[in-house]
Amino acid sequence: MDTRTADVQISIRHEIVGEEAEQLWAFYNDIFGPLNEESPCRQSLHHGDFIALLGSAEFVKFVARDANKATLGFTAFATLKEEMPLMPWISTEYFRKRWPEFWGRIIYVPIIGVPRDARALGAGKELMLQILQYMREHSIPLIGFDHSVGNIPYLPDLIMRITNGKPMGSLSKRKELDSQAYYLLRDQYQLPEE
Ligand SMILES: CC(C)(COP(=O)(O)OP(=O)(O)OC[C@H]1O[C@@H](n2cnc3c(N)ncnc32)[C@H](O)[C@@H]1OP(=O)(O)O)[C@@H](O)C(=O)NCCC(=O)NCCS
């Protein structure tokens, strides 16, 4: 298993279309589709939006593969602008109002995923490091991301940990921006028992 750890190769992509896009959809949907059963907040894009994201050069994509070219992980991110129809849950106004001096240089990461059978081999961390490297190389001052706390509570801590001791130095500081609560009301007469 560990041999795959050292073999993670990352390629940067801008437009992915056709059969390769459909293959990545299957890869993505296998990771994120089941998470929708674990959270009341939708955890994945629908097929059409995911294919549109792959074909849009606005979104930078990193694909992690092993030495045999098998896909190990995927991430995509975009520079925020006024209209982000493929990330409708993000208030671009929020970022623009708070960081007007950085507007046009704030990126948002809506997807980072590694399949369950390839986890804990380093692919996820390598993808995160590549994003942080991109941040440095493109003078990106801010990166936004969100995640389901129930699904993957350790993600923010992991991101903070991976820069420690790296040549790029400790470039990240983290701030929690908001959280959202989901409620359910039960009619105690129809559903008396929990
Ligand atoms: C987040 C994700 C991409 C990480 O991928 P990965 O390939 O398993 O990550 P890596 O192998 O590079 O690193 C895993 C790290 O997480 C740590 N980790 C794993 N489970 C953990 C847990 N329950 N608590 C704390 N740390 C944990 C491991 O210790 C390891 O860190 P270390 O090597 O420093 O010890 C993967 O879990 C995933 O795809 N999750 C589902 C999709 C998702 O929720 N994505 C985020 C929102 S878009």
Radius of gyration of the chain (CA): 18
Q: Whose CA is nearest to atom 23 of ligand 1?
A: 154
Alpha carbon distance 84, 160 (integer Å): 27
Instruction: Examine the pLDDT at 28 and tell me if it is beyond 60.
Output: yes
- Around ligand 1, the residues with Cβ closer than 6 Å are 31, 111-114, 119-125, 147, 151-152, 154-155, 158, 161
Q: Whose CA is nearest to atom 11 of ligand 1?
A: 120
Q: How far is CA 151 from CA 42, 89, 113, 116, 121, in A?
A: 12, 18, 12, 12, 19
The atom number, within ligand 1, closest to the CA of 112 reads: 48
So what's the pLDDT on residue 141? 94
Q: Whose CA is nearest to atom 47 of ligand 1?
A: 147
At residue 173 the predicted structure's pLDDT band, cuts being 50, 70 and 90, is confident
Alpha helices, H only, the chain: 3-6, 18-32, 47-55, 92-98, 123-137, 155-162
Phi, psi at 10, each rounded to 5°? -110, 130
Domains, the chain, ordered by start: 9-163 (3.40.630.30)
Query: pLDDT digits over 47-64, tens only?
Result: 999 999 999 999 999 999
Mean of pLDDT values over 59-87: 97
Alpha carbon distance 59, 55 (integer Å): 8
Instruction: Examine the pLDDT at 165 and tell me if it is beyond 70.
Output: no
Instruction: Examine the pLDDT at 161 and tell me if it is beyond 90.
Output: no
Residue 163 CB coordination number (10 Å): 16
The atom number, within ligand 1, closest to the CA of 126 reads: 12
The atom number, within ligand 1, closest to the CA of 109 reads: 48
Closest by Cα among 67, 79, 68, 55 to 140: 79
H or E segment and range at residue 143? strand 142-145
> Global pTM?
0.92
Determine the residue of 66, 87, 149, 158 to mutate for testing ligand 1's pocket, defined as the one with the most ligand atoms within 8 A of the Cβ atom. 158
Query: pLDDT digits over 112-128, tens only?
Result: 999 999 999 999 999 99
So what's the pLDDT on residue 101? 98
In the three-class reduction of DSSP (H, G, I as helix; E, B as strand; rest coil), residue 177 is classed as: coil
- Distance (Å) from CA 21 to ligand 1 centroid: 24
Burial class (CB within 10 angstroms; exposed 0-12, middle 13-18, buried 19+) of 165: exposed
